[in-house]
Amino acid sequence: MLATRNLSLAHGKTEVIREVSLAFRPGEVTALIGPNGAGKSTLLQSLFGLHRPQAGTILLDHKPLANWRPADWQARIGYMPQDNGVHGSLTALETILLGSLEELSLRLSDPILRRAAESLDRFGLLDLSERRLETLSGGQRQLVYFAQAMMRSPKILLLDEPVSALDLRHQRVLLRHVRETTKTSDLVTIAVLHDLNLAAGYADRVVLMNEGRIIADGTPAEVLTPAHLARVYGVEVATYPTPDGFALHVRNALSGA
Protein backbone atom coordinates (compact mmCIF):
# COMPACT_ATOMS: atom_id res chain seq x y z
CA MET A 1 0.00 0.00 0.00
CA LEU A 2 1.29 3.46 -0.96
CA ALA A 3 -0.36 6.60 0.38
CA THR A 4 0.13 10.27 1.18
CA ARG A 5 -1.47 12.11 4.09
CA ASN A 6 -1.75 15.90 3.95
CA LEU A 7 1.48 16.00 1.96
CA SER A 8 2.95 19.46 1.36
CA LEU A 9 6.27 20.27 -0.27
CA ALA A 10 8.03 23.45 -1.33
CA HIS A 11 10.92 24.36 -3.60
CA GLY A 12 12.48 27.29 -1.78
CA LYS A 13 9.60 29.58 -0.84
CA THR A 14 7.30 28.19 -3.53
CA GLU A 15 4.79 25.62 -2.35
CA VAL A 16 4.53 22.96 -5.05
CA ILE A 17 2.40 20.29 -3.34
CA ARG A 18 -0.44 21.40 -1.07
CA GLU A 19 -2.08 19.05 1.43
CA VAL A 20 -2.34 16.07 -0.92
CA SER A 21 -3.95 12.93 0.52
CA LEU A 22 -4.13 9.90 -1.78
CA ALA A 23 -4.15 6.11 -1.38
CA PHE A 24 -3.00 4.01 -4.33
CA ARG A 25 -4.35 0.50 -4.77
CA PRO A 26 -2.55 -2.57 -6.18
CA GLY A 27 -3.76 -3.71 -9.59
CA GLU A 28 -4.77 -0.20 -10.59
CA VAL A 29 -3.25 2.27 -13.07
CA THR A 30 -3.54 5.85 -11.83
CA ALA A 31 -2.95 8.71 -14.27
CA LEU A 32 -1.79 12.03 -12.85
CA ILE A 33 -2.95 14.84 -15.15
CA GLY A 34 -2.95 18.61 -15.05
CA PRO A 35 -1.36 21.63 -16.73
CA ASN A 36 2.35 22.39 -16.64
CA GLY A 37 3.45 23.33 -13.14
CA ALA A 38 0.57 21.49 -11.46
CA GLY A 39 2.95 19.48 -9.26
CA LYS A 40 2.61 16.10 -10.97
CA SER A 41 6.31 15.31 -11.44
CA THR A 42 7.19 16.65 -8.00
CA LEU A 43 4.58 14.36 -6.47
CA LEU A 44 6.02 11.39 -8.35
CA GLN A 45 9.56 12.29 -7.25
CA SER A 46 8.34 12.56 -3.67
CA LEU A 47 6.79 9.09 -3.86
CA PHE A 48 10.18 7.76 -4.99
CA GLY A 49 11.79 9.40 -1.98
CA LEU A 50 13.70 12.16 -3.78
CA HIS A 51 12.08 14.96 -1.75
CA ARG A 52 11.32 15.11 1.94
CA PRO A 53 7.91 16.56 2.86
CA GLN A 54 7.64 19.93 4.58
CA ALA A 55 4.41 18.68 6.15
CA GLY A 56 2.40 15.50 6.10
CA THR A 57 3.80 12.08 5.30
CA ILE A 58 4.20 9.36 2.69
CA LEU A 59 3.46 5.78 3.74
CA LEU A 60 4.53 2.46 2.28
CA ASP A 61 2.99 -0.62 3.85
CA HIS A 62 1.64 1.69 6.59
CA LYS A 63 5.20 2.75 7.52
CA PRO A 64 6.24 6.43 7.10
CA LEU A 65 8.97 7.33 4.63
CA ALA A 66 11.08 8.76 7.46
CA ASN A 67 11.28 5.28 9.04
CA TRP A 68 12.66 3.60 5.92
CA ARG A 69 16.24 3.32 4.72
CA PRO A 70 16.23 5.10 1.31
CA ALA A 71 17.70 2.04 -0.43
CA ASP A 72 15.02 -0.26 0.99
CA TRP A 73 12.24 2.15 -0.02
CA GLN A 74 13.49 2.59 -3.58
CA ALA A 75 14.23 -1.13 -4.03
CA ARG A 76 10.47 -1.74 -4.19
CA ILE A 77 9.90 0.87 -6.89
CA GLY A 78 10.46 0.95 -10.63
CA TYR A 79 10.92 4.66 -11.40
CA MET A 80 11.10 6.11 -14.89
CA PRO A 81 11.84 9.84 -14.69
CA GLN A 82 10.85 12.34 -17.35
CA ASP A 83 14.44 13.12 -18.35
CA ASN A 84 16.82 10.19 -17.99
CA GLY A 85 19.63 11.86 -19.87
CA VAL A 86 21.62 9.86 -22.40
CA HIS A 87 24.57 7.83 -21.12
CA GLY A 88 26.24 7.45 -24.49
CA SER A 89 28.84 4.89 -23.38
CA LEU A 90 26.19 2.34 -22.34
CA THR A 91 24.46 -0.08 -24.66
CA ALA A 92 20.75 -0.83 -24.48
CA LEU A 93 21.49 -4.15 -22.77
CA GLU A 94 23.84 -2.56 -20.21
CA THR A 95 21.25 0.11 -19.43
CA ILE A 96 18.57 -2.48 -18.77
CA LEU A 97 20.94 -4.50 -16.57
CA LEU A 98 21.41 -1.42 -14.35
CA GLY A 99 17.81 -1.99 -13.28
CA SER A 100 19.11 -5.00 -11.34
CA LEU A 101 22.18 -3.24 -9.98
CA GLU A 102 21.75 -4.75 -6.51
CA GLU A 103 21.91 -8.26 -8.06
CA LEU A 104 24.95 -7.67 -10.24
CA SER A 105 28.37 -9.07 -9.47
CA LEU A 106 31.64 -9.57 -11.34
CA ARG A 107 29.93 -12.29 -13.36
CA LEU A 108 26.50 -11.86 -14.89
CA SER A 109 24.21 -14.73 -14.02
CA ASP A 110 22.23 -16.48 -16.72
CA PRO A 111 18.84 -15.65 -15.12
CA ILE A 112 19.62 -11.89 -15.11
CA LEU A 113 20.80 -11.95 -18.72
CA ARG A 114 17.72 -13.94 -19.71
CA ARG A 115 15.41 -11.42 -18.00
CA ALA A 116 17.16 -8.54 -19.77
CA ALA A 117 16.89 -10.28 -23.15
CA GLU A 118 13.20 -11.01 -22.56
CA SER A 119 12.62 -7.34 -21.77
CA LEU A 120 14.36 -6.26 -24.97
CA ASP A 121 12.41 -8.79 -27.01
CA ARG A 122 9.06 -7.75 -25.52
CA PHE A 123 9.48 -4.25 -26.97
CA GLY A 124 11.05 -5.30 -30.26
CA LEU A 125 14.50 -4.06 -29.21
CA LEU A 126 16.46 -7.31 -29.19
CA ASP A 127 18.34 -6.39 -32.37
CA LEU A 128 19.42 -3.14 -30.70
CA SER A 129 20.90 -4.73 -27.57
CA GLU A 130 24.50 -3.83 -28.48
CA ARG A 131 23.67 -0.34 -29.77
CA ARG A 132 24.78 2.60 -27.64
CA LEU A 133 21.96 4.73 -26.24
CA GLU A 134 23.12 7.86 -28.05
CA THR A 135 22.50 6.11 -31.39
CA LEU A 136 18.88 5.21 -30.55
CA SER A 137 15.84 7.34 -31.25
CA GLY A 138 14.10 9.08 -28.37
CA GLY A 139 11.28 6.55 -28.54
CA GLN A 140 13.64 3.58 -28.49
CA ARG A 141 15.44 5.01 -25.47
CA GLN A 142 12.10 5.49 -23.72
CA LEU A 143 11.31 1.80 -24.18
CA VAL A 144 14.78 0.83 -22.92
CA TYR A 145 14.30 2.91 -19.78
CA PHE A 146 10.92 1.30 -19.14
CA ALA A 147 12.46 -2.15 -19.52
CA GLN A 148 15.14 -1.04 -17.03
CA ALA A 149 12.48 -0.06 -14.49
CA MET A 150 10.81 -3.47 -14.87
CA MET A 151 14.08 -5.34 -14.20
CA ARG A 152 13.63 -4.67 -10.49
CA SER A 153 10.43 -6.76 -10.47
CA PRO A 154 8.91 -3.79 -8.62
CA LYS A 155 5.79 -3.64 -6.49
CA ILE A 156 5.29 0.00 -7.49
CA LEU A 157 5.73 1.65 -10.90
CA LEU A 158 6.24 5.43 -11.12
CA LEU A 159 6.28 6.66 -14.73
CA ASP A 160 6.81 10.33 -15.56
CA GLU A 161 5.50 11.03 -19.07
CA PRO A 162 6.47 7.53 -20.27
CA VAL A 163 5.11 8.01 -23.80
CA SER A 164 6.28 11.57 -24.49
CA ALA A 165 8.88 10.50 -27.09
CA LEU A 166 6.94 7.60 -28.61
CA ASP A 167 5.04 7.45 -31.89
CA LEU A 168 1.33 6.58 -31.88
CA ARG A 169 1.86 2.84 -32.21
CA HIS A 170 4.50 2.57 -29.50
CA GLN A 171 2.49 4.75 -27.11
CA ARG A 172 -0.19 2.08 -27.19
CA VAL A 173 2.29 -0.80 -27.08
CA LEU A 174 3.88 0.59 -23.92
CA LEU A 175 0.66 1.58 -22.17
CA ARG A 176 -0.98 -1.74 -22.99
CA HIS A 177 2.00 -3.51 -21.44
CA VAL A 178 1.86 -1.21 -18.40
CA ARG A 179 -1.82 -1.99 -17.92
CA GLU A 180 -1.45 -5.75 -18.39
CA THR A 181 1.58 -5.96 -16.08
CA THR A 182 -0.22 -3.89 -13.43
CA LYS A 183 -3.12 -6.35 -13.45
CA THR A 184 -1.19 -9.62 -13.67
CA SER A 185 1.48 -8.63 -11.11
CA ASP A 186 -0.87 -6.62 -8.85
CA LEU A 187 1.31 -3.52 -9.06
CA VAL A 188 0.63 -0.01 -7.86
CA THR A 189 1.17 2.02 -11.04
CA ILE A 190 1.17 5.83 -11.21
CA ALA A 191 1.85 7.59 -14.53
CA VAL A 192 2.05 11.28 -15.37
CA LEU A 193 0.26 11.73 -18.70
CA HIS A 194 -0.43 14.85 -20.76
CA ASP A 195 -2.56 13.15 -23.41
CA LEU A 196 -6.01 13.02 -21.84
CA ASN A 197 -7.28 10.50 -24.37
CA LEU A 198 -4.52 8.10 -23.32
CA ALA A 199 -5.50 8.66 -19.70
CA ALA A 200 -9.13 7.90 -20.60
CA GLY A 201 -8.16 4.76 -22.49
CA TYR A 202 -5.58 3.15 -20.21
CA ALA A 203 -6.08 4.41 -16.64
CA ASP A 204 -8.44 2.93 -14.06
CA ARG A 205 -8.25 6.12 -12.04
CA VAL A 206 -7.43 9.71 -12.89
CA VAL A 207 -6.16 12.37 -10.46
CA LEU A 208 -6.48 15.92 -11.79
CA MET A 209 -4.05 18.40 -10.23
CA ASN A 210 -3.66 22.16 -10.44
CA GLU A 211 -1.34 24.46 -8.49
CA GLY A 212 -0.28 21.58 -6.26
CA ARG A 213 -3.79 20.58 -5.20
CA ILE A 214 -6.11 17.72 -6.08
CA ILE A 215 -9.03 19.07 -8.10
CA ALA A 216 -10.73 15.77 -8.91
CA ASP A 217 -10.07 12.08 -8.24
CA GLY A 218 -12.03 9.17 -9.67
CA THR A 219 -12.67 7.12 -12.79
CA PRO A 220 -11.82 8.68 -16.17
CA ALA A 221 -15.53 9.36 -16.77
CA GLU A 222 -15.84 11.10 -13.40
CA VAL A 223 -12.76 13.30 -13.78
CA LEU A 224 -12.46 14.04 -17.51
CA THR A 225 -15.62 16.11 -17.67
CA PRO A 226 -16.10 19.34 -19.63
CA ALA A 227 -16.60 21.24 -16.36
CA HIS A 228 -13.37 20.00 -14.74
CA LEU A 229 -11.28 20.52 -17.88
CA ALA A 230 -12.68 23.99 -18.48
CA ARG A 231 -11.82 24.94 -14.90
CA VAL A 232 -8.24 23.63 -14.99
CA TYR A 233 -7.15 23.92 -18.64
CA GLY A 234 -9.36 26.79 -19.77
CA VAL A 235 -10.66 24.90 -22.81
CA GLU A 236 -14.05 23.80 -24.08
CA VAL A 237 -14.09 20.00 -24.46
CA ALA A 238 -16.62 17.64 -26.00
CA THR A 239 -16.77 13.92 -25.26
CA TYR A 240 -17.98 11.23 -27.60
CA PRO A 241 -18.34 7.45 -27.20
CA THR A 242 -15.84 4.96 -28.62
CA PRO A 243 -15.83 1.14 -28.62
CA ASP A 244 -13.49 1.22 -25.59
CA GLY A 245 -15.22 3.99 -23.63
CA PHE A 246 -15.02 7.63 -24.66
CA ALA A 247 -12.70 10.20 -26.22
CA LEU A 248 -12.19 13.93 -25.87
CA HIS A 249 -12.15 16.64 -28.48
CA VAL A 250 -10.97 20.18 -27.70
CA ARG A 251 -13.27 22.70 -29.38
CA ASN A 252 -12.04 26.09 -28.22
CA ALA A 253 -9.94 27.93 -25.69
CA LEU A 254 -12.26 29.76 -23.35
CA SER A 255 -12.11 33.55 -23.40
CA GLY A 256 -9.91 34.93 -20.66
CA ALA A 257 -8.07 31.61 -20.25
Residue 162 in this model has a pLDDT that exceeds 50: yes
pLDDT (tens digit, 9 = 90+) per residue, 3-31?
Answer: 999 999 998 888 999 999 999 999 999 99
Q: For residues 189 and 28, is the Cβ–Cβ distance under 8 A? A: yes
pLDDT (tens digit, 9 = 90+) per residue, 45-89?
Answer: 999 999 888 999 999 999 999 899 998 998 899 999 876 655 568
Q: How far apart, in whole angstroms, are the C-alpha atoms of residue 220 and residue 222?
A: 5
DSSP 49: T
The strands making up 213-218's β-sheet, listed across from edge to edge, are 77-80, 156-160, 188-192, 28-33, 205-210, 213-218
Q: For residues 181 and 150, is the Cβ–Cβ distance under 8 A? A: yes
CATH number belonging to domain 2-76+154-253: 3.40.50.300
With CA atoms as reference, report the closest residue to 256 among 237, 235, 225: 235
Identify which has the larger pLDDT, 128 or 257. 128
pLDDT (tens digit, 9 = 90+) per residue, 92-129?
Answer: 888 888 876 654 444 566 777 888 888 888 888 889 89
Residue 257 in this model has a pLDDT that exceeds 60: no
Domains of the chain by residue range: 2-76+154-253, 87-152
Kindly state the average pLDDT of the residues 226-255.
Answer: 88
pLDDT band at 243 (very low <50, low <70, confident <90, very high): confident
Torsion of CA 225, 231, 237, 239, to 10 degrees: 0
- pLDDT score recorded for residue 202: 95
Kindly state the average pLDDT of the residues 124-141.
Answer: 87
Whole-prediction pTM:
0.89
